[in-house]
């Protein structure tokens, strides 16, 4: 065979299903590579050698038992939001409104704590404020869901806009309930009475939050993977036409699933107000409604795998936070590192789904 004129340099084909082992190896390699890049960048910014960077990050995350607890609490919250968004995502409903739904849930809780704090005993106040949070979150998700179901309104943008409406609503109430007047802040709600606060179990303030989310993770996993509802969600997500054809009422599923999604976001808001922060601010959710989208996606919308992806992201932000504290850098440093790691993981998916063929190697050769 004579020389061929010009075969493309790189040519790619879609892979068959990759063995789980390889997929994990590819992702692990991506994370490692990303950590190396992050280490180098940090070293450049701080003058620290990369090994010390990692040591500092580890100590930031695991250094003391207090830090471990804080990390556990943060993982719980992020995981909880991711769990909330997942049913919607599995239905291909891009609920980017986590922020807003959390804030509204938090608003519901705070209003109960503030208005009813001195009138109801805790045994009544806790369930009432929980219910308020869940209802508020559900309603906030319900509005875009109804429009999506009826008119196929673009949910990505709708939920996004709802975030800012929620933020302003919270801003309004923060001023209405500000303590002291003119401070523009609510401060710690019921600081003296601790009315409506989630109880401290086994002597730890964060343990109850963590336990609640752990149970929720398992429930959500079972719901999505094994229940009829979960199956319906998958069918609607994969093919609406098919869903209609087998008699699934698509709009009903959309609305039902988004009520669930919003309700769990509301629950997160409750955990934030009654369980950990005990206050209400417009930045309560702190962008985690968006981070959770990434957590859920990294785990391929599988609730159990989200434990790992949320761990990864929280570890990064805690570790980077430590670095920025020690070196007097801006705390946004963590966001940069998180971004870099995400880019690597996002990019690595390609090598799981596609195979590359290089010129010169006959079809067998191919990178990872």
Site for another protein in 145-164 (CB under 8 A): 147, 151-154, 156-158, 160-162, 164
**Cα separation of 314 and 334, whole Å?**
10
SS3 category, 358: strand
CB atoms within 10 A of CB 343: 13
Size of the site for another protein (CB under 8 A): 80
Q: Per-residue x/- mask for another protein, residues 11 to 50, rule CB under 8 A?
A: x-xxxx----------------------------x-----
Query: How long a stretch of residues is the chain?
Result: 368
Considering the complex, what minimum distance in angstroms separates the CB of residue 120 from another protein?
A: 26
Please, which residue, 16 or 121, has the CB nearer to another protein?
Answer: 16
Nearest approach, Cβ of residue 276 and another protein (Å): 22
Instruction: Report how far Cα 172 is from the mean position of its chain's Cα atoms.
Output: 26
SS3 64: coil
Pairing of strands 354-358, 10-14: antiparallel
CB-based burial, 62-85: b 16+ in 10 Å, e otherwise = eeeeeeeebbbbbbbbbbbbbbbb
Q: Which stretch binds another protein (CB under 8 A): 31-39, 77-85, 269-277, 326-334?
A: 326-334
Cβ proximity to another protein: between 28 and 176 the closer is 176
Binding test (CB under 8 A) with another protein, winner from 19, 66, 180, 246: 246
Find the binder of another protein among 27, 185, 205, 244 (CB under 8 A). 244
In this structure, are residues 272 and 106 in contact, taking their beta carbons and an 8 Å threshold? Answer: yes
Please tell me whether residue 325 binds another protein under the rule CB under 8 A: no
183 binds another protein (CB under 8 A): no
CB of 336 vs another protein, minimal distance in Å: 5
Q: CA angle, 337 as apex, 210 and 61 as ends, to 5°?
A: 40
- Give the footprint of another protein on residues 88-117 (CB under 8 A): 94, 96
Euclidean distance between CA atoms 140 and 217, whole angstroms: 22
- Which residue lies nearer to another protein by CB, 236 or 274? 236
Q: Find the part of the chain contacting another protein (CB under 8 A) among 74-82, 107-115, 127-135, 166-174.
A: 166-174
Helices 228-238 + 65-90 axis angle, to 10: 60
Task: Name the DSSP class of 17.
Answer: P
Least CB distance to another protein at residue 266 (A):
20
User: In angstroms, what is the minimal distance from the CB of 53 to another protein?
Assistant: 16
Pair 86, 292: CB distance under 8 Å:
no
């Amino acid at each position: 065979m004579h020389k061929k004129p010009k075969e493309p340099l790189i040519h790619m084909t879609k892979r068959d299903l990759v063995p789980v082992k390889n997929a994990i190896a590819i992702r692990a390699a991506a994370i490692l590579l990303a950590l190396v890049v992050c280490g180098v960048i940090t070293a450049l910014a701080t003058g620290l050698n990369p090994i010390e960077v990692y040591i500092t990050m580890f100590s930031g995350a695991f250094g003391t038992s207090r830090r471990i607890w804080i990390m556990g609490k943060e993982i719980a919250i992020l995981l909880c939001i991711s769990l909330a968004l997942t049913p919607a995502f599995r239905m291909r409903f891009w609920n980017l409104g986590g922020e807003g739904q959390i804030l509204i849930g938090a608003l519901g809780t705070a209003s109960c704590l503030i208005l009813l704090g001195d009138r109801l005993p805790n045994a009544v106040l806790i369930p009432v404020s929980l219910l308020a949070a869940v209802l508020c979150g559900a309603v906030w998700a319900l509005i875009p869901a109804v429009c999506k179901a009826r008119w196929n309104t673009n949910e990505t943008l709708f939920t996004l806009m709802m975030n800012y409406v929620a933020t302003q609503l919270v801003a309004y109430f923060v001023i209405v309930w500000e303590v002291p007047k003119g401070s523009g802040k609510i401060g710690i709600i019921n600081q003296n009475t601790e009315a409506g606060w989630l109880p401290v179990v086994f002597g730890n303030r964060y343990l109850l939050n963590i336990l609640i989310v752990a149970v929720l993770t398992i429930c959500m996993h079972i719901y999505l993977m094994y229940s009829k509802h979960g199956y319906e969600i998958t069918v609607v997500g994969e093919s609406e036409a098919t869903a209609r054809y087998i008699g699934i009422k698509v709009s009903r599923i959309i609305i039902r699933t988004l009520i669930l999604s919003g309700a769990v976001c509301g629950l997160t808001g409750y955990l934030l107000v009654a369980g950990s922060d005990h206050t209400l601010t417009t930045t309560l959710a702190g962008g985690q409604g968006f981070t959770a989208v990434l957590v859920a996606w990294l785990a391929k919308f599988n609730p159990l795998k989200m434990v790992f992806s949320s761990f990864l992201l929280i570890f990064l932000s805690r570790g980077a936070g430590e670095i920025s504290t020690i070196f007097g850098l801006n705390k946004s440093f963590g966001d940069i590192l998180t971004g870099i790691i995400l880019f690597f993981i996002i990019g690595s998916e390609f090598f799981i789904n596609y195979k590359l063929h290089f010129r010169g190697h006959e079809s067998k050769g191919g990178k990872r």
